[in-house]
């Protein structure tokens, strides 16, 4: 499977960079999946190319649906509070932007960090 780290997600009007990924759980064919048990929402997967001769670009945009989780709160350390958020997205293993996906995977889980791709050019 090709790594998704460094690519982008736009979900609910916010850009995120993919900073981590796991292969998801193996499952038995015909059993419930995370997509059967939780609400899915639309997102756009952004294939990103950074640097090079042509600068930062969004090469492709692919619309999909997945299970999005956003947790936020305050983290206290050394008498100082900082805002902390943790966003994850569960991606269907059948999405066109995934390659070499093992057939027994229920989903791919990616960890997201807030980003801004508004200055990236679009196109190849």
**Would you say residue 21 lies in a domain?**
yes
Listed in order, strand segments (DSSP E) in 12-104 are: 14-22, 41-49, 57-77, 80-91
pLDDT tens digits along 7-17: 999 999 999 99
CA 45 to chain centre: 7
**Would you say residue 1 lies in a domain?**
no
Residue 83 is predicted with a pLDDT of 59
pLDDT tens digits along 55-86: 789 999 999 999 999 876 566 777 776 655 68
Structural domain boundaries, residue 61 = 8-122
**Would you say residue 31 lies in a domain?**
yes
**Would you say residue 2 lies in a domain?**
no
Q: Looking at the 3D structure of the chain, how many domains does it have?
A: 1
* pLDDT range class, residue 51, cuts 50, 70, 90: confident
* Mean pLDDT computed over every residue of the chain: 85
The two three-digit tokens of residue 119, written as one number? 């200055």
Neighbours of 98 (CB within 10 A): 16
Q: How far apart are CA 4 and CA 91, in angstroms?
A: 11
């Amino acid at each position: 499977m090709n790594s998704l780290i460094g690519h982008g997600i736009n979900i609910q009007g916010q850009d995120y960079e993919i900073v981590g990924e796991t292969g998801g759980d193996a499952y038995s064919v015909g059993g419930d999946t995370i997509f059967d048990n939780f609400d899915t929402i639309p997102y756009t997967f952004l294939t990103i190319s950074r640097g090079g001769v042509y600068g930062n670009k969004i090469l492709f945009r692919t619309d999909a649906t997945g299970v999005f989780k956003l947790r936020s709160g305050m983290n206290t350390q050394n008498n100082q509070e900082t805002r902390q958020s943790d966003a994850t997205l569960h991606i269907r293993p059948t999405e066109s932007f995934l390659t070499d996906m093992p057939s027994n995977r229920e989903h791919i889980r990616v960890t997201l960090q807030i980003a801004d791709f508004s200055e990236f050019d679009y196109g190849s």
